[in-house]
Structure 1
Amino acid sequence: MISADKWRPADGLTLEPNALRAAEETQRCLALTAGPGAGKSEMLAQRADFLLRTETSRYPKRIVAISFKVDASRNLKERVQRRCGHDLAARFDSYTFHAFAKRIIDRFRPVLTGEDALDVDYTMGERRVARRQIEFSDLVPLATQILRVSAVARNAVRQTYSDVFLDEFQDCTSQQYKLVKPAFQGTAIRLTAVGDTKQKIMGWAGALDGIFQTFATDFNAEALNMYRNFRSKPQLLRMQNEIIRRMDPASVMPAGQLAGEEGQILYWRFPDSQTEADRLADAIHHWIDDEAIPASELQCWSPANPTSMLRN
């Protein structure tokens, strides 16, 4: 164990100010937004390292991360193991929403009665069969019902965890948020919700608009934003840093992190949106097909008009 004031990010990594602030938070819940490439998963891994290594999450309490995709859940678990080591990471659980819900159902199945009652050897399938089988879509609602009606179930979940990470939170649906609230609202458990409000892709599945604001209100969470883009080259980072300087001066990145001449910024002005779209399409086509630049290395930033094209 080390004291909180002696902790430094694992593997010698340097975190931007708000990421470091989030990693070291010991009291409040956090609503942390960030763009693509900002290191959201890395921040969560560093936060897990801080909580476990400093015993801010005191043994035998655990940390649970709840994600939307199996790959994201597995990636975060592996990242925490690399940062903390296997011994400390053994106290870190990483599930999807549905896997977390199933654990609740399996442990507290007898709470379900009437039409929702399940036998001990119930299965998952394509249709619901009384007592014998439920559908995948039943998991979250049934787990939510258990937490709402059973104080024993609520207390068991709450006594297990000191901290909860909610990854890709911009895609949280109404059903999933209804599971989070009875499980953790009104407790001393620290929740860290992380996501990119500009990358919400689950609107068709009921992802909630304004979920970060709702969460901040419901859980008295501090709202923070991470600005750095680890996929950008130095010239782009310096330009982004000047924008950050106006938006959030406390989050400006040190000059030492921005050294180098890699990257290219092209600034164009267009008379109308159609001309802009045509020119951008031609440029992107040329860079990908003629210069063989991977699409992942192209970034576009358009403050309405004029437009800037950013090339890594």
Structure 2
Amino acid sequence: MKPVSPGNWRPQGILDFEDRAWEALYETRESVCLTAGAGAGKTEFLAQKAAYLLQTAICPSPRRILAISFKRDAARNLSERLRRRCPDHGHRFVSLTFDAFAKSLLDQFRAAVPDGFRPSSDYRIVVAKRDEFVDFLKRHGHGNLKPKIFEDAVAETQLPLEDSRWNENARKLLQSYWDEQLRGGQRSLLTFAMINRLAERLIRDNDQIKRALQTTYPVVFLDEFQDTTIAQYQVLTAAFGNSRSVVTAVGDDKQKIMGWAGAMENSFHQFTADFKAVPVSLLSNWRAHADLVAVQQLIASRIDPTVEPVVARGRRAIDGSIAAIWQFDTREEEVDGIAQWIASQIDIGEVEPHRVSVLVRNYADRVEEEVAPIFATRGLSVRNVARIVGGEGGVAIQDLLNEELTEILMPFLRLAALRPNPDAWDLASTKMALMHEVESDDGPAGQKVTLRLEELIRTARLYLSENLPGDASAAGVTDMLIDTIGEKLIRQTTPAYERSHDFERVRAAFAALLAEALSEGGSWSDVLDRFDGIGQVPLMTVHKSKGLEFHTILFFGLDDRSWWSLKPANAEELKSFFVALTRAEQRAFFTCCSERGGPIAWLEEILGDMVPRVALS
């Protein structure tokens, strides 16, 4: 396809950006540090900038753009946005999380890791637990050392440990931890912090790997940059620092919620200095309307009194209250009151179930047990997106929906169950082209891939016609899809599945969630909707809501006991609250009950008359 001249390029799918966004988009020679608040259109900006760079050949073929996000759903959202804006160049846009990027490097170049730190090929990814650090420190005579301090030291210390800033005793302790994790069992156990450390050393010690990355990716995007850890940032600087690669970092300090997990301090200042980046700030909120933005601004000003006023660009599409604190006497009244209200809004056509989110501070599994039965009496189905499917070591539902295997299989299922389905066809054809490394306008090769896609769909349709939902096996459907597309092809073209353990883990989780969807019967269309969460009310923690948006959000149990850490001096908790509040497009309500806890007086004082307390018992 012939490149578009930069002067003739036009954005696709949007009417406009604010002037500052265009300034950042057209800056292609220098790195950019773009600070942008909630609803400012950060994802759309990155998708449009990618389209501009690819369609004008400023990023020429076969070079690619690497987009690194903090969360999987953010990486998926950005990838899908680019595919819609720029379908002919989707194969040259690689959208990953920081952890997935580091893991892909380790899996591909594991043999280049020095012997003392090389993990087994079948290493297992684990989550660091406090009790395990306590046990380790006690066994090595350091029981008085706080486990969080040691955990941070593991994450922040570069390899080899001989070059670290710690004294001899500290280095020996760190070395013992690495030795146990790498060689203390039948296979190595690695946290993502350790994987980042190994990836950073790989790049730093191997100029060929560094040159390959810089040649492949002359353009790099960093989304939600405020939550980047020291280890992740050092992977970035090892790969692209002091190079010709142009990096665009996007984020908002008011939405920094991962300080507890090692997010950098002053990350934007550091990036601007290290990459000599051009600073740009966006001031629009395209998600929410003016009345809701005014409520959000109350919290933003508490986080940063110098914050610039935000210009609301969203349209108010509802009448009545857009924010209030609902007061109940008992827990049962609170849950039933929420369920009744959601059901009434669905009945009058105001909102769809999956566009209303119930947010909790933590313990989503416990809240699910409490609310699901009562919601069911009102005809509502609750989906706890944090629930693990696929047995021990499985995958959280929210993560599973963003897994590459799910993104490959679901369009085929949709095409087999429903026809016509243009969206599913676009997704399936894009995935097939990517897996076969064929460009959409590559005549004979592209036609061959299309014929192969049609053949796969016929096979899947025949299978579904012979196996109705009431009789179908989830494992059988999953196996059919993978065998039809080709497990070898899927794994060869998906770095995350290079190891059998990683692939089988996601495969089992996919089959498990499909089995749940099948258990409720209905048509294949109904089953696939349930798999995707359509028609279900999402339940999640405030942290899980990051990067998402909903028509209406409900903060469940906002009291001084459930949200005990939400205090004026706790900046990170206030930012988490702000992030959750800004997920709303139209309305945000807060519920509490006297039986569960008391009001959060200082917060209600900030919200003032804009968010009145309403007794609903």
For residue 157 of structure 1, what is the aligned residue in structure 2?
A: 213
Cα deviation for residue 285 of structure 1 reads 3.1
For residue 40 of structure 2, what is the aligned residue in structure 1?
A: 38
Mean alpha-carbon deviation: is it higher for 47-56 or for 226-235? 226-235
- Equivalents in 2 of 1:310, 1:181: separation in Å? 45
- 5 Å-filtered alignment, 1:1-312, equals 1-85=3-87, 87-118=88-119, 121-126=121-126, 128-130=181-183, 132-137=187-192, 138-233=194-289, 283-285=324-326, 294-295=553-554, 296=584, 297-298=587-588, 309=610
Q: Secondary structure at the match of 1:285?
A: strand
With over 3 angstroms needed to count, the CA separation of the structure-2 counterparts of 1:263 and 1:166, relative to structure 1, is: farther
Cα deviation for residue 113 of structure 1 reads 1.2
Is 2:31–2:276's contact at 8 Å kept on the other side of the alignment?
Answer: yes
With over 3 angstroms needed to count, the CA separation of the structure-2 counterparts of 1:145 and 1:229, relative to structure 1, is: same
Is 1:46–1:83's contact at 8 Å kept on the other side of the alignment?
Answer: yes
Give aligned-pair identity as a percent.
38
With over 3 angstroms needed to count, the CA separation of the structure-2 counterparts of 1:196 and 1:108, relative to structure 1, is: same
Q: Secondary structure at the match of 2:243?
A: coil
With over 3 angstroms needed to count, the CA separation of the structure-2 counterparts of 1:46 and 1:125, relative to structure 1, is: closer
Q: Secondary structure at the match of 2:242?
A: coil
TM-score by length of 1: 0.77
- Equivalents in 2 of 1:216, 1:223: separation in Å? 7
Is 1:233–1:263's contact at 8 Å kept on the other side of the alignment?
Answer: no
With over 3 angstroms needed to count, the CA separation of the structure-2 counterparts of 1:9 and 1:107, relative to structure 1, is: same
Cα deviation for residue 284 of structure 1 reads 3.4
With over 3 angstroms needed to count, the CA separation of the structure-2 counterparts of 1:248 and 1:37, relative to structure 1, is: closer
- Equivalents in 2 of 1:5, 1:263: separation in Å? 44
- Equivalents in 1 of 2:269, 2:230: separation in Å? 14
- Equivalents in 2 of 1:217, 1:10: separation in Å? 33
The structure with the larger Rg is 2
Cα deviation for residue 231 of structure 1 reads 2.1
Is 1:52–1:58's contact at 8 Å kept on the other side of the alignment?
Answer: yes
With over 3 angstroms needed to count, the CA separation of the structure-2 counterparts of 1:98 and 1:236, relative to structure 1, is: closer
- Equivalents in 1 of 2:611, 2:38: separation in Å? 15
- Equivalents in 1 of 2:249, 2:607: separation in Å? 34
TM-score by length of 2: 0.41
Cα deviation for residue 94 of structure 1 reads 0.9
Is 1:228–1:237's contact at 8 Å kept on the other side of the alignment?
Answer: no
With over 3 angstroms needed to count, the CA separation of the structure-2 counterparts of 1:263 and 1:153, relative to structure 1, is: farther
Amino acid at match of 1:213: H
Amino acid at match of 1:90: H
Amino acid at match of 1:191: V
With over 3 angstroms needed to count, the CA separation of the structure-2 counterparts of 1:200 and 1:12, relative to structure 1, is: closer
- Equivalents in 1 of 2:308, 2:239: separation in Å? 34
For residue 465 of structure 2, what is the aligned residue in structure 1?
A: none
With over 3 angstroms needed to count, the CA separation of the structure-2 counterparts of 1:29 and 1:125, relative to structure 1, is: closer
Cα deviation for residue 154 of structure 1 reads 0.9
The total of aligned residue pairs comes to: 283
- Equivalents in 1 of 2:191, 2:114: separation in Å? 19
Is 1:30–1:223's contact at 8 Å kept on the other side of the alignment?
Answer: yes
- Equivalents in 1 of 2:125, 2:341: separation in Å? 49
Mean alpha-carbon deviation: is it higher for 257-266 or for 183-192? 257-266
- Equivalents in 1 of 2:607, 2:13: separation in Å? 41
- Equivalents in 1 of 2:70, 2:42: separation in Å? 15
* Bigger strand share: 1
Kindly provide the CA deviation profile for residues 5-60 of structure 1, in whole angstroms up to 9, marking residues without a partner as x.
Answer: 21121124311112222222211111111111111111111111111111111111
Mean alpha-carbon deviation: is it higher for 48-57 or for 68-77? 68-77
Cα deviation for residue 108 of structure 1 reads 2.2
With over 3 angstroms needed to count, the CA separation of the structure-2 counterparts of 1:165 and 1:258, relative to structure 1, is: closer
With over 3 angstroms needed to count, the CA separation of the structure-2 counterparts of 1:143 and 1:188, relative to structure 1, is: same
Which consecutive unaligned segments of at least 5 residues does structure 1 have? 241-246, 267-279
Moved over 6 A (4+): 235-238, 257-266, 288-293, 304-308
For residue 275 of structure 1, what is the aligned residue in structure 2?
A: none
Amino acid at match of 2:240: F
Cα deviation for residue 220 of structure 1 reads 0.4
**Could you say what the CA RMSD is over the residues aligned between the two structures, in angstroms?**
3.6
